[in-house]
A and B are shown apart, each in its own frame.
Chain A
Amino acid sequence: MCETCGCGDPELVPVEIQQSILAGNDRVAAHNREHFADAGLLAINLMGSPGSGKTALLEATATAWPHESRLGAISGDLATTRDADRLGAAGVPSLSITTGSSCHLDAELVHTALHDLDWHGLDLLFIENVGNLVCPAVYDLGQTVNVVALSVTEGEDKPLKYPVMFRKADLVLLTKTDLLPHLDVDVAAIEDGLARTMPAAAMIPVSAKTGEGITDWIAWLNRRLPTLAGAGSARTKTAAGR
Chain B
Amino acid sequence: MHEYSIVQALMAQVEVEARKYRAVTVEKVELKIGELSGVEVDLLRTAFETFRERSICARASLEIEVVPARWSCPSCKELFQAGCRLQCPDCRQPAQLESGDEIVLQRIEMEAA
Binding site for B on A (CB under 8 A): 10-25, 102-104, 106, 134-135, 137-139, 163-165, 167, 192, 195-201
Among A13, A164, A195, A196, which residue has its beta carbon within 8 angstroms of that of B112?
A: A13
Point out the residues of chain B lying under 8 angstroms from A192, CB to CB: 85
Identify A134's interface contact among B17, B38, B105, CB under 8 A.
B38
Would A196 and B84 count as touching, CB distance under 8 A? yes
Known: A196-B85, A199-B95. A21 touches B6 (CB 8 A): yes
User: Which residues of the partner chain B approach A15 to less than 8 Å between Cβ atoms?
Assistant: 17, 21, 107-110
Asked if B58 is an interface residue, CB under 8 A from chain A, the answer is: no
With A134-B1, A138-B38, A196-B84 as given contacts, are A17 and B105 in contact (CB-CB < 8 Å)? yes
Beta-carbon contact of A17 and B38 below 8 Å: no
User: How would residues 25 to 55 of chain B score, 1 for a CB under 8 Å from any chain A CB and 0 otherwise?
Assistant: 0011001000011110000000000000000
List 10 additional contacts besides A15-B110, A106-B5, A135-B38; criterion CB under 8 Å. Answer: A10-B112, A11-B111, A13-B109, A13-B111, A17-B13, A19-B105, A164-B36, A167-B36, A167-B97, A199-B95
Closest CB in chain B relative to A236 CB, distance in Å: 37
Residues of A with C-beta under 8 A to B27:
12
User: Is B36's CB under 8 angstroms from A22's CB?
Assistant: no
Chain B residue with minimal CB distance to A23? B13
B102 proximity list for chain A (CB < 8 A): 20
The residues of A that contact B6 with a CB separation of less than 8 Å are 21-22, 138
- Any A CB within 8 A of the CB of B106: yes
A19 touches B84 (CB 8 A): no
B-side contacts of A24, CB under 8 Å: 9, 12
In the complex, which of the residues A20, A138, A199, A200 contacts B104, with contact meaning CB atoms closer than 8 Å? A20
The answer to whether B110 and A21 have CB atoms under 8 Å apart is: no
User: When chains A and B are docked, how far (Å) is the Cα of A96 from the Cα of B13?
Assistant: 30
Is there an interface contact between A135 and B86, defined as CB atoms closer than 8 Å?
A: no
**Nearest B residue (CB) for A102:** B5
How far is B81's CA from A70's CA once the two chains are assembled, in angstroms? 44
A-B contact pairs, 14 of them (CB 8 A): A12-B27, A12-B28, A13-B109, A13-B112, A15-B109, A17-B13, A21-B31, A21-B103, A104-B2, A134-B1, A164-B38, A192-B85, A199-B87, A200-B87
Q: Which of B1, B36, B96, B103 touches A103 (beta carbons < 8 Å)?
A: B1
Within 8 A of A (CB), among B59-113: 71, 83-87, 94-97, 102-112
**CB nearest neighbor in A for B44:** A21
Which of B36, B94, B106 interacts with A18 by CB under 8 Å? B106
Known: A135-B38, A199-B87. A18 touches B2 (CB 8 A): no
**In the complex, what residues of B have CB within 8 A of residue A17's CB?**
13, 17, 105-108
Which residues of chain A have C-beta atoms less than 8 A from B111's C-beta? 10-13
What residues on A are CB-neighbors of B108 within 8 Å?
Answer: 14-15, 17
Residue from A11, A17, A106, A137 whose CB has the most chain B CB atoms within 10 Å: A17
Distance, CA A173 to CA B39, complexed state (A): 25
* A16, B106: Cβ atoms closer than 8 Å: yes
Q: How far apart sit A201 and B94, CA to CA, in the bound complex (Å)? A: 9
- The distance from the CB of B70 to the nearest CB of chain A, in whole angstroms, is 13
Smallest Cβ distance from A98 to chain B, in angstroms?
17
Give the Cβ gap from A145 to chain B, nearest Cβ, in Å: 15
Q: Are A195 and B17 in contact (CB under 8 A)?
A: no
> Shortest beta-carbon distance, B34 to chain A, in Å?
9
